[in-house]
Structure 1
Amino acid sequence: MTTLVIGANGQIGKQFCELAHQDGVAIRAMVRKPEQAEWFESRGIEAVIGDLEGDMEHAFEGCDEVVFTAGSGPHTGPDKTLLIDLYGAIRTADIARDKGLSRYVMVSAIRAEQPLEAPEKMRPYMAAKFAADRHLESAGLPYVILKPGRLTDDAATHGFTDVLEDSASQSITRADVAQALLHVVRHPEINNRAVTLLNGERSLDELIR
C-alpha cells in the first residue's frame, strides 16, 4: 500500500516521511518544485511533482491513501489560505474519492469548528479548515482527521491526550504529530474519526484505537 503525502515538504510532512520510510511504509512525497524532490530522493523516498493550485491528479496514480499535511503558511494572505487550505484540501479529497483510494488522513487544527473564537488573524485559516473538514466528512471515502493544538518544534515526547484540561499549554510537538500520522497509517482499520491531539500522558494506542 502506497501513501501519497501532500505537503511533504512542510515541517510535519518531512518528519512523517522520514519516520514512515524508516518504518518500511511505502510513501510518495508530493512537492511543488524539482529542487524540493532532491531532499526526499537522496533518502530513498519516492517524490512526485504536483501543485495544489494546478496539475496534481497524476500524483495519485498507484496510491492507496492520502495524508494531507499541506498549509499555506503564516506569511501568506487569505488568498492562499483559500486556495491551499480550503480548495486544495477539497480538490484532493474529491480526487482521492474519484480514483477509489481507501482513506484520506487530514491534519486539521484544534477548535477548527469554532473559527470566530480564534484570534482575528487566524480566523480565515480556521474557517478554511472547518469547511475542508466538513467536506471530507461528506465526500464519500473513509477519513481520519487529526486536530493538533498549538504546534511547537520541541523533540517528540511520545505522550498524548485529547483532553484540553490535561494539557496546560494545549500544544503538541510537530514531531509527535508525525508520530500520530504514522500510527494512523499503520492501522488502516481506523476510519471516520476526528481526534484532538495534545501532548499529555497517554500512548497513541490508548488515544487512537
Structure 2
Amino acid sequence: MSSASASVRSCQPARSLRCGSGVARVSQRRAALSVRAAALEPGATVLVAGATGGVGQLVAAKLLDRGYKVRALSRSSDKVQQLFGGAEGLSAAIADLREPSSLPAALEGVDAVVCATGTTAFPSKRWDGGNNPEQTDYVSVRNLVRACPPSLKRFVLTTSAGVERSGQFPFSILNLFGVLKYKRMGEQELEGSGLPYVIVRPNRLTDGPYTSYDINTLLRNTSGSRQNITLSLKDDLLGETSRIAVAEAIVQLLPLDFVEGRHFSIGSKEGDGPGQDAAQWHALFAACTQQQRAGVA
C-alpha cells in the first residue's frame, strides 16, 4: 500500500464495555464465541437493515457482487423489488425494527447483521410515522440487537462521528434534537450485548446514492477522487466521508477477526486509496488496531 493511499490516526485503548440488561442472554452469547468461526466468508447470509437507504443500498449491492447472500430488511417489499429486482442471492425480510415481534423470523439463519439505518438530525418529513432519532437510532437498534441469535458471527453498526463529542461545536448543533445522543445509546446497547460487533463512525456523508437506483447503477458508483481513507479508533475525526467508502469499509471488515469489538471512525478525502483492494483494507484496519495494542497516544 502506498503512503498516499490512506492514513491511520492514533488510537487509544477502548473504554470498558457497559453491561446491558439480560445477563443470561449476554453470557450465552459470549459462550457461543468459543465454538464459532469469527471470520465471515462469501456465501454467508448477511441481513442488511436499512438496505433501501443511502449506505445500506451500497452495502447490499457490494455484498451481492462478492458472493454473499443478502437479506434486505425493509418495511416495504416494493422498495426492495424496485432497487434490487430479482438479484441472485437476495431475499427480502419485511419487518419493522420498532416492532420486536417482527424480527425473529427475519433473523432466522443469518450469519451477520449490518445495521445502516438512520434519519435526519433535524425535523423533516422523514420523521413522519415516528421515524425520529430516538426511534431510529436507539429503539430500533436496541430491538434488532436483542433479537439477534447467539450464533451470530458479526454485527456491524453504522453511527456517526461526534457521538462522544455531542457537547462540542459543531456537534452540539447537530445534536440539538438528540441524534448523536441516541446513536451513542444504540452503540451502548450493542456494546453490552455480548454479540461480536464492529461500530463504524463516518464523518458527514457525501456522494450518492441520494435516491434509490437499480443494482447495476449502484455497482458503478465510485467515490471519485475522494478515496484517501483515514481511520481512527477514537472519536476524533472531522470532515467528510463518501458513502461509497463507508460501504466498502463495511464489506471489507466482515471477514476480519481482529476488528471485533472496535469502533472505527472513518473519513475520506482527495487522493488515492484502497478502492476494493482487500489487502490494502486489511493493512489499514491492522495498522489502526496495532497502534491501539502498542498504546500509541
TM-score normalised over the length of structure 2: 0.63
Q: Is the counterpart of residue 47 in structure 1 residue 99 in structure 2?
A: no
Cα 1:25–1:79 shift into 2, 3 Å: closer
> 1:153, 1:175 within 8 Å by CA — same for their partners in 2?
yes
Aligned to 1:145: 199
In structure 1, what residue type is equivalent to 2:103? Answer: M
Cα 1:133–1:185 shift into 2, 3 Å: same
Give the whole-Å Cα distance in 2 for the aligned partners of 1:65 and 1:5.
Answer: 9
Aligned to 1:207: 284
Aligned to 2:213: none
The SS at the match of 2:167 is helix
Q: Give the unaligned 5+ runs of structure 1.
A: none
User: Which of structures 1 and 2 has the bigger CA Rg?
Assistant: 2
Aligned to 1:101: 152
Deviation at 1:57, TM superposition (A): 2.1
Q: Deviations over 1:137-186 (max 9, x none)?
A: 1111111000100100164244310269xx8x611110111111110123
Q: Is the counterpart of residue 26 in structure 1 residue 81 in structure 2?
A: no
1:130 paired residue among 170, 181, 184:
184
Aligned to 1:81: 133
Cα 1:172–1:79 shift into 2, 3 Å: closer
Residues 58-69 of structure 1: matches in 2 within 5 Å? 58-69=105-116
More RCO (CA 8 Å, sep 6+): 2
Deviation at 1:27, TM superposition (A): 1.5
TM-score normalised over the length of structure 1: 0.88
Give the whole-Å Cα distance in 2 for the aligned partners of 1:32 and 1:184.
Answer: 27
Deviation at 1:67, TM superposition (A): 0.3
1:114 paired residue among 144, 147, 165:
165
Cα 1:69–1:79 shift into 2, 3 Å: closer
Deviation at 1:187, TM superposition (A): 2.6
Aligned to 2:57: 14
Deviation at 1:9, TM superposition (A): 0.5
> 1:30, 1:48 within 8 Å by CA — same for their partners in 2?
yes
Stretch of structure 1 that moved more, 44-53 or 176-185: 44-53
The SS at the match of 1:114 is coil
Deviation at 1:37, TM superposition (A): 2.0
The SS at the match of 2:132 is helix
Aligned to 2:260: 191
Deviation at 1:189, TM superposition (A): 4.7
> 2:119, 2:131 within 8 Å by CA — same for their partners in 1?
no
Deviation at 1:58, TM superposition (A): 1.1
* CA root-mean-square deviation: 2.4
Give the whole-Å Cα distance in 2 for the aligned partners of 1:35 and 1:109.
Answer: 29
Give the whole-Å Cα distance in 2 for the aligned partners of 1:103 and 1:19.
Answer: 17
The SS at the match of 2:162 is coil
The SS at the match of 1:92 is helix
> 1:161, 1:202 within 8 Å by CA — same for their partners in 2?
no
In structure 2, what residue type is equivalent to 1:62? Answer: G
Query: Which of the pair is proportionally richer in strand?
Result: 1
> 1:37, 1:49 within 8 Å by CA — same for their partners in 2?
no
> 1:90, 1:136 within 8 Å by CA — same for their partners in 2?
yes
Aligned to 2:33: none
Cα 1:189–1:59 shift into 2, 3 Å: farther
Question: Aligned residues, how many?
Answer: 206
